[in-house]
Amino acid sequence: MAEQVGRRPFVREVPKTRWFLRHPRYRRYMAREVTCIFIAVYTVILIVGIARLGQGPGAYEAFLQALRTPLSIAFHVVALAFSLYHTVTWFNLAPKAMPVRFGETALPHAAVAGAHYFAWVILTVVVLWLAGAF
């Protein structure tokens, strides 16, 4: 019989808080995840705006004034950049999650992603139209 060899596997711990620093693709992933913070804050601002609108013209005007401050504008620019990053990375991943098949043929990935961008443009135009931009 072969000599018994002792097994003593060595476990390399994954750092719980710094794991994403190990590789650029993890950092890109975390960047996509972090976008949610900006989108959440933006949503809260929007809800506060609706509450102020319900409180009357004075409260709403003060809310609009607060939006015009440099800090607010800076935040909105950053939030826009982050939500664009989120949207683009997400739309590009969509064909993986939603392959579209007609019978035996599958739609090319570019078509599935393209449909998302198309719907995005249409919805943006509709929102701008509702807001009286045209």
Partner 1 sequence: MSERRVELQVLRYDPEKDEIPHFQSYTVPFSDEWVVLDALNHVKEQTDPTLSYRWSCHMAVCGSCGMMINGEPMLACKAFMRDLPEVIRVEPLAHFPIERDLVTVVEDFMAKLARVKPYLIPKQRKDLDAGEYLQTPGELKRYKQYAQCINCMLCYAACPEYGLTPKFIGPAAITLAHRYNEDSRDGGRELRQEEIAAGEGVWECTFVGACSQVCPKHVDPAAALQQVKIASTLDWFREHTMPWLSK
Binding of residue 9 to partner 1 (CB under 8 A): yes
Task: Count Cβ atoms within 10 A of the Cβ of residue 37 and give its class: 0-12 exposed, 13-18 middle, 19 or more buried.
Answer: exposed
Helix/strand/coil for 2? coil
Q: How far is the CB of 100 from partner 1 (least distance, A)?
A: 12
Binding of residue 14 to partner 1 (CB under 8 A): yes
Q: Give the one residue of 1, 18, 25, 47 binding partner 1; rule: CB under 8 A.
A: 25
Distances (CA, A) of 50 to 4, 41, 53, 126, 131: 73, 14, 5, 20, 15
Binding of residue 37 to partner 1 (CB under 8 A): no
Amino acid at 105: T
Residue carrying structure tokens 């003593």: 8
* 89-108 footprint of partner 1 as x/- string (CB under 8 A): ----x--xxxx-x-xxxx--
Kindly list the residues in this chain that would bind partner 1 in the complex (CB under 8 A): 5-12, 14, 16, 19-20, 22-23, 25-26, 29, 33, 93, 96-99, 101, 103-106
